[in-house]
Each structure stands twice: as structure tokens, then as C-alpha cells.
């Protein structure tokens, strides 16, 4: 009984990880990553930062829509619906940062910033860009 419950929890955890990976892998092809850091204009070691955390967006959307993927086919169906629903957050609400500024942003707002921090992140980056931080 306990072993069965453990396996079920492990499978759910793996599916949740897989879902984020599947969404990210599909979405990557359309990212419009810039050629320089928004803050310092460096062209080295660039990252693509979502103001709305993909993982957080996905978790909220799944709960709201009561999605409970059981297998890879479910994940693929959910992935496409999620990307269609959140096109703006995935592609327009993002910025290119050098790795140093990307790490700095996450040191301030955390590894998975809450969805309510998107506008604050933008203002903070603008201040950083203008030498006000």
C-alpha cells in the first residue's frame, strides 16, 4: 500500500516536471531573444526572462481548468492549449538579460517570482538600466 502510494506520488511529480519541460521546449521556438542585455547592452551569455514565470502560470492555469494529466498524450494536449491561452505572457512579457543581470533579478524576486511581481520586475529593471538601483 505505502509503496503503491509512493509510486503514484513519484509518477505525478515526474508528469508535473515533464509538463513544464514540454511546454518550455515547444514555446522556445518562438522566443524573440534579443542580441543584447536590456540593462547593460552586453551581448555575452544572454538569457530570456519571463516576467510571468512559466511554471507559476502553468500551475495556476492547470488548477483553474482542473487539468490532471495522466500520460504524455494528455501533456501534449494541455501544452498546446496553455501556450495558446498565454501567448502574451510567454512571448511579449519577456526580456533578454545577460546571465549576471538575470541572476541579480532572481536574487531580488526569487527563483519563481509570483505572478503579481511582473510589473515590479519591469520597473526594477528600468531603474537598474537607468542607474537608479
Q: Is the pTM of this model over 0.85?
A: no
b vs e for 69-96, b when ≥16 Cβ sit within 10 Å of the residue's Cβ? Answer: beeeeebeebbeebbeebeebbeebbbb
pLDDT in tens, the chain (133 residues): 444 434 444 455 566 567 888 888 888 888 888 999 999 999 999 999 999 999 999 999 999 999 888 888 888 888 989 999 999 999 999 999 999 999 999 999 998 899 999 999 999 999 999 999 7
Task: Please classify residue 8 by burial: count the beta carbons closer than 10 Å to its beta carbon, then call 0-12 exposed, 13-18 middle and 19+ buried.
Answer: exposed
Q: Which residues lie below 8 Å from residue 50, measured CB to CB, with a gap of 6+?
A: 89, 90, 93, 94
Strand, helix or coil for residue 70: coil
Distance CA 133, CA 115 (A): 22
Would you say 83 and 90 are in contact if contact means Cβ atoms under 8 Å apart?
yes
Distance CA 71, CA 74 (A): 5
Distance CA 69, CA 98 (A): 35
End-to-end CA distance of the chain: 55
Would you say 51 and 122 are in contact if contact means Cβ atoms under 8 Å apart?
yes
Amino acid at each position: 500500500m505505502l509503496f503503491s502510494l509512493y509510486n503514484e506520488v513519484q509518477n505525478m511529480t515526474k508528469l508535473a516536471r515533464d509538463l513544464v519541460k514540454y511546454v518550455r521546449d515547444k514555446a522556445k521556438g518562438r522566443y524573440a531573444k534579443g542580441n543584447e542585455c536590456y540593462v547593460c547592452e552586453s551581448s555575452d551569455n544572454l538569457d530570456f526572462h519571463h516576467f510571468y514565470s512559466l511554471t507559476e502560470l502553468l500551475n495556476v492555469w492547470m488548477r483553474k481548468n482542473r487539468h490532471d494529466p495522466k500520460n504524455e498524450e494528455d501533456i501534449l494536449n494541455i501544452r498546446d492549449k496553455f501556450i495558446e491561452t498565454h501567448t502574451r505572457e510567454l512571448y511579449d512579457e519577456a526580456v533578454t538579460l545577460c546571465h549576471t543581470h538575470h541572476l541579480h533579478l532572481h536574487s531580488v524576486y526569487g527563483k519563481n517570482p509570483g505572478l503579481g511581481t511582473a510589473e515590479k520586475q519591469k520597473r526594477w529593471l528600468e531603474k537598474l538600466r537607468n542607474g537608479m538601483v
